[in-house]
């Protein structure tokens, strides 16, 4: 499946030397039968893992070569490893004997922090290691955080039903007095973000702080989205590191698409925006992507009008009789008339879609009129 000179999309090898070693390894152990479509086959990182497992499983020479390169094998975040990862561990570590003095196979993890079940990860595989005879070692000393943080975390988790029954210890070499924790009970994350930003602003007003002195560490993207929105609303300069901005989220893409539709005179922008909101919320239970439906409808409408598709306003699909019919034809490409004549239920479904298109078009027309003619700000009401 993998060929020479191949680099997986989105995955960069750390150096030319590493890339050369990878290509040499794949070229050495890949047979022609494994690559019926040629020497270049695009796969993702999961495919690489599976392919590596297959090489270790099926080629004893490759397995011995890999084993000879590693005496200490440690898998971090082992609670999130999938079965295939543990199979790799077994093949790579089968030369390591129990209680070996100069070799080690170790799995480090916390079964209460598993988050990768959506890609096959499961803590049960790590738990099985213990049942199979692996020795359990508990890491009690926290070398990362300052003492006040470790002790506060210990108190917060003390009564959690899934907490591990031991007391975390701060690193004795970490200094005390450099960290502090303030607990603010708030009903939701939005108010927490606002309260924190207001506190920053109060400290900034004293003149001895700058925005670069503050940071928010968040575990989830949704929580970080709340703080990002708070910074935007309060005019706080910020940089987001790690995770995608909520400005690129599907919800924000929908909002900006409505803005393009309501304010732009650029037909290309209107068309792009329309393809993103046509089925938001779910109106037509589309079997194909909305952009393909819009493209087909625009082609049909421009042909009916005798114009190029670039010169036709995409909103005509919602506001003219010919446009509505073109959009319905694209929504039901297996024959609109035939479906109308097939059953009463089919005819009713198509008529409801027709009403929905016209109603949606009227709403967008009203919004565009309000925005472009300087209407009241509340003319941009939530769309349903």
Sign of the Cα torsion 369, 374, 376, 378 reads positive
Q: How confident is the model at residue 320 (pLDDT cuts 50, 70, 90)?
A: confident
Tens of pLDDT, residues 63-83: 998 898 999 999 999 999 999
Q: How confident is the model at residue 93 (pLDDT cuts 50, 70, 90)?
A: very high
What H or E segment, with its residue span, contains residue 189?
helix 189-205
Tens of pLDDT, residues 182-196: 777 878 888 989 999
Whether pTM > 0.85 for this model: the answer is no
Tens of pLDDT, residues 246-276: 667 777 788 888 888 888 888 888 888 888 8
Q: How confident is the model at residue 384 (pLDDT cuts 50, 70, 90)?
A: very low
Domains of the chain: which residue ranges?
44-137, 189-244, 250-379
Mapped onto helix, strand or coil, the DSSP state of residue 75 is: strand
Mean pLDDT of the chain: 79
Tens of pLDDT, residues 216-242: 988 788 888 888 889 988 999 988 886
pLDDT the model gives residue 3: 36
Q: Which residue has the tokens 């939005």?
A: 190
pLDDT the model gives residue 22: 60
pLDDT the model gives residue 342: 63
29: pLDDT strictly greater than 70:
no
Q: Spelled out in words, what is the top-level CATH class assigned to the domain 44-137?
A: alpha beta
What H or E segment, with its residue span, contains residue 223?
helix 221-233
pLDDT the model gives residue 34: 44
346: pLDDT strictly greater than 60:
yes
108: pLDDT strictly greater than 90:
yes
Q: What is the DSSP letter of 144?
A: S
Q: How confident is the model at residue 336 (pLDDT cuts 50, 70, 90)?
A: low
207-231: burial string, b at 16+ Cβ within 10 Å, e else = eeeeeeeeebeeeeeeebbbbbbbb
Burial tier of 264 (Cβ tally within 10 Å: 0-12, 13-18, 19+): middle
Give percent of the chain with pLDDT exceeding 90: 21
Q: How confident is the model at residue 284 (pLDDT cuts 50, 70, 90)?
A: low
Q: Which of 280, 276, 319 is nearest to 294 (CA)?
A: 276
């Amino acid at each position: 499946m993998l060929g020479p000179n191949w680099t997986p999309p989105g995955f960069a090898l750390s150096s030319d030397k590493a890339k050369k070693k990878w290509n040499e390894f794949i070229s050495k152990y890949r047979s022609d039968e494994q690559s019926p479509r040629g020497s270049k086959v695009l796969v993702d990182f999961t495919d690489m893992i599976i392919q590596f497992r297959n090489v270790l499983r099926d080629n004893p020479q490759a397995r011995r070569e890999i084993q000879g390169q590693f005496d200490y094998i440690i898998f971090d975040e082992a609670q999130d490893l999938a079965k295939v990862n543990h199979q790799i561990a077994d093949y790579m570590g089968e030369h390591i004997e129990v209680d070996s003095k100069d070799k080690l196979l170790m799995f480090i993890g916390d079964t209460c922090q598993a988050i990768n079940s959506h890609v096959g990860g499961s803590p049960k595989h790590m738990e099985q290691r213990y049942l199979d005879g692996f020795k359990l070692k508990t890491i009690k000393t926290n070398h990362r955080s300052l003492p006040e943080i470790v002790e506060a975390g210990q108190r917060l988790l003390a009564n959690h039903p899934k907490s591990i029954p031991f007391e975390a210890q701060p690193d004795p070499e970490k200094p005390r007095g450099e960290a502090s924790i303030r607990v603010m009970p708030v009903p939701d994350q939005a108010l927490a973000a606002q309260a924190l930003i207001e506190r920053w602003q109060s400290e900034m007003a004293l003149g001895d702080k700058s925005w670069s002195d503050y940071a928010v560490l968040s575990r989830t993207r949704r929580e970080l989205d709340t703080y990002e929105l708070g910074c935007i609303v309060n005019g706080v300069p910020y940089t987001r590191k790690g995770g995608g901005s909520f400005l690129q989220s599907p919800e924000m893409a929908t909002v900006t698409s409505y803005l393009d539709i309501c304010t732009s005179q650029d037909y290309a922008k209107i068309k792009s925006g329309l393809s993103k909101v046509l089925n938001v919320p779910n109106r037509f239970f589309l079997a194909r992507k909305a952009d393909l439906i819009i493209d087909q409808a625009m082609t049909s409408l421009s042909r009916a009008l005798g114009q190029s598709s670039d010169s036709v306003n995409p909103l005509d699909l919602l506001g003219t009789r010919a446009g509505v019919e073109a959009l319905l034809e694209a929504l039901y490409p297996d024959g609109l008339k035939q479906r109308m004549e097939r059953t009463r239920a089919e005819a009713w479904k198509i008529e409801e879609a027709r009403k929905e298109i016209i109603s949606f078009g009227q709403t967008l027309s009203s919004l565009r009129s309000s925005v472009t003619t300087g209407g009241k700000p509340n003319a941009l009401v939530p769309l349903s």
